[in-house]
Chain A
Amino acid sequence: MPSSHQRIEIVRRTYYDSVTLMLVAKELLKDGSLSVASLSMGTEANYKIMGSGGFDLTGVDATPNDLIIAVKTGAPEAEREDVLTAALAKAKEYLANPPGRKADSGGDYRPKSLDGALSVLPDANLALISVAGRYAGDVAMDCIEKGLNVMLYSDNVPVEKEVEIKKAAAEKGLLVMGPDCGTIIIRGVAMGMANACPPGPVSIVAAAGTGLQEVHVQLARRGVGVLHGIGTGGRDVRREVGGIMCLQAVNALLADDEVELLIVLGKPPAPEVEQKILQAVKAGKKPAVLGFIGGEAKGDSGGVFICRELEETAAVAAALAKGGDGARARENLFREYEALRQRAETIGKRKGFLRGLYSGGTLCYEGQLIARDILGPIRSNTPLDKKMKLEDSLRSEQHSMVDYGEDEFTQGRLHPMIDVSLRAERIYEEAKDQEVGVILFDVVLGYGCNDNPAAGLAEGIRKARSAAGDRIVFVASICGVDSDPQNASEQCRILEELGVHVCDSNARAARLAAMILEG
């Protein structure tokens, strides 16, 4: 009987952070003896991902609390057993001493408890919480009781807990930024996944994530800086939470003399929350731009502008911040968008379907809105309309856009803004589909993100090119600036050398991608 190409081992009740798992998997692949190495927790989503990666999971009974080490080789049969055995041994050795991680020694002592940290920094007023979601709410409550504002990076916090901690914080005049808040900017200093943009007169309240990053970057490209960027978590403006933190942040920023212009950003709030936000902003008597992406609210009034897209929000805000005309800035921008039709013609129209592969949730949402208006319904794992939900997020149908930052892809795995490998593989998979005409993707830069995402995606693009030739056009947007650790211009160069058409914003990339397929 021929020996198997794969070996799977389950390490029971073992947890490693996803950065460690990514580093170990990368290290295992270095010597070229393995074709696939996967280290992930035994969640349902990871079973699917491994299955789609060609692993035979028959008999594998790992639970979400177990680590699965799965390796695959294309080595000749005579060598397979040795290669796989050595790989598993190496994996365990690396797990005990993760490669590429600095040893926790030799430096100053770093407190490990909240009380310990407050002993050292008694004047601290902000805590960043990144623990498993089921514990995060209690940790946040502890911080609030100690008078700390909270950046709640953790996700999977129950909504009832979110309401409880936000009410407690509001009573004390504190902010809870999150849950699932990956980006904040406080006095020009970025925390989490954020870009190296200059400070300035604008402040933003956002759900937090790539929407905030995109507007931050678009403002910087227009020469306008941001003082504060306060994330509230995506659920905050829903009916269940009632916009507790959005309103708290809006009022705090309106009262801040250093804030000259306010942006409120995110998916459209529940109608009653939207009304409260509008009332608060209008009462503040500062120029404001409400960027409710895809929202129904229309009509600028007084100093308050209503926008439906991210770049539009930034363009209007930048014009206002410079003492210009917001409405004219919007008109100019949409004229530039129309000019993309000519670019699409120059590239050459294609037939078939659009496949969008996103790392940013808000970018994926905006991409769907824009492409839907040009191409019709878009299917997604995070669809605009529930009826358009993909049955299987790993299998596209017709026009599809997939948000790889959704929980199904991040439980026990790194966020796609850090680990680009899943999307690189998917680019190749999509290219093999004869019905695909355009592949669209985002590249999000900044602190905390992959140190060279374009290079990480390059292998997938090259393989896709060799599989599909000129049938497929690749379109991308880069959310970043040259001062980011990855350097936006350098990332652009890498992608353009691979034949990718790079756009200055997600709104432009989604439009161009759809226009190339437009009948």
Chain B
Amino acid sequence: MGPRTFLAGTLPPVHVGKRLLFDLRDVPAIYAPRLSPGRMNPRWIGLVSEWRDFLTDDLAVLKGPAERGAWKELTGLGPGSTPAGDDFLSGLASGMLWQGKTVPFHPDPGLTSWLSGDMLRDACEGGIWCRAKCLLEALASDEPKAVTKSAGSIADWGHTSGRAWLAGLSEALCRERDG
């Protein structure tokens, strides 16, 4: 996966349905979405654990499948323009891959919207959003400010997306520790 966005100054007039091809070879990449392996500093366990509590109120629908590890049930489930279940699974996938572990599900884009399907596929291939990458880097560090700042930027992301993603990450980073 390369850069997801670029700024085009102007476009020629085009007809509806016409396919456009862009040659982006000379467009400089300003963000590399590839996830590098890392490990959470143990001091953050208490903080990361509490993110599982996001699965209440408007995200309560995710709680049952998440606790049972019923990952397929989560695909396309819940509120949000990217269904919150997919955000949860993306967080879970990124957290597992970050630790060098296997993602415990295979994405099934057919069960959700095209955008969400792409997001899930990318996450399972080790692609990650900038804010999430910053958080993982912060979690490897000993810097409280970096952690609260990046976690805050994610919690605030979309209506439910950020919270669901953090809950998924928490699942990846804390479940095995909790037994």
Give me the interface of A with B, judged by CB distance under 8 Å. 105-122
Is there an interface contact between B49 and A120, defined as CB atoms closer than 8 Å?
no
Distance to closest chain A CB from B72 (angstroms) = 30
Partner of B148, one of A115, A118, A120, A122: A120
Is there an interface contact between B152 and A119, defined as CB atoms closer than 8 Å?
no
Distance to closest chain B CB from A428 (angstroms) = 42
The prevalent SS among residues of B at the interface is helix
Is there an interface contact between A112 and B152, defined as CB atoms closer than 8 Å?
no
Spot the interface stretch: B11-19, B24-32, B40-48. Answer: B40-48
Q: A110–B145 Cα gap in the complex (Å)?
A: 11
Q: Given A119-B45, A119-B144, list of 19 further CB < 8 A pairs?
A: A106-B152, A108-B145, A108-B152, A109-B147, A109-B148, A109-B152, A110-B148, A112-B50, A113-B53, A114-B46, A115-B45, A115-B49, A116-B46, A116-B47, A117-B46, A119-B43, A119-B47, A120-B148, A122-B43
Q: A111–B156 Cα gap in the complex (Å)?
A: 14
Is there an interface contact between A119 and B46, defined as CB atoms closer than 8 Å?
yes
Residues on A with beta carbons closer than 8 Å to the beta carbon of B48: 119
Partner of B156, one of A105, A114, A118, A119: A105
Interface assignment of B106: CB less than 8 Å from any CB of chain A: no
Residues on B with beta carbons closer than 8 Å to the beta carbon of A118: 46
Partner of B144, one of A105, A107, A115, A121: A121
Interface assignment of B101: CB less than 8 Å from any CB of chain A: no
Residues on B with beta carbons closer than 8 Å to the beta carbon of A112: 50, 53
CB closest chain-B residue, reference A121: B144
CB closest chain-A residue, reference B150: A109
Q: Given known contacts A109-B155, A121-B144, is B43 in contact with A115 (CB within 8 Å)?
A: no
Give me the interface of B with A, judged by CB distance under 8 Å. 43-50, 53, 144-145, 147-149, 151-152, 155-156
Q: A22–B46 Cα gap in the complex (Å)?
A: 35
Q: A114–B45 Cα gap in the complex (Å)?
A: 12
Residues on B with beta carbons closer than 8 Å to the beta carbon of A107: 152
Residues on A with beta carbons closer than 8 Å to the beta carbon of B149: 108-109
Distance to closest chain A CB from B119 (angstroms) = 22
Distance to closest chain B CB from A121 (angstroms) = 7
Is there an interface contact between B156 and A115, defined as CB atoms closer than 8 Å?
no
Q: A109–B153 Cα gap in the complex (Å)?
A: 8
CB closest chain-A residue, reference B155: A109
Distance to closest chain B CB from A24 (angstroms) = 20
CB closest chain-A residue, reference B145: A108
Q: A286–B156 Cα gap in the complex (Å)?
A: 53
Sample 16 A-B pairs with CB under 8 A, ordered by A number: A107-B152, A108-B149, A108-B151, A109-B147, A109-B152, A109-B155, A111-B50, A112-B50, A112-B53, A113-B49, A115-B46, A115-B47, A116-B47, A119-B47, A119-B144, A121-B144
Residues on B with beta carbons closer than 8 Å to the beta carbon of A113: 46, 49-50, 53
Is there an interface contact between B147 and A120, defined as CB atoms closer than 8 Å?
yes
Distance to closest chain A CB from B142 (angstroms) = 10
Q: A114–B151 Cα gap in the complex (Å)?
A: 17
Q: A173–B147 Cα gap in the complex (Å)?
A: 32
Closest 4 CB pairs of A and B: A115-B46, A109-B151, A119-B47, A109-B152
Distance to closest chain B CB from A44 (angstroms) = 31
Question: Which of B46, B145, B148, B151 is packed against the most chain A CB atoms within 10 Å?
Answer: B46
Distance to closest chain B CB from A234 (angstroms) = 34
Residues on B with beta carbons closer than 8 Å to the beta carbon of A106: 152, 156
Distance to closest chain B CB from A97 (angstroms) = 14
CB closest chain-B residue, reference A107: B152
Q: A107–B156 Cα gap in the complex (Å)?
A: 8
Partner of A108, one of B45, B50, B53, B148: B148
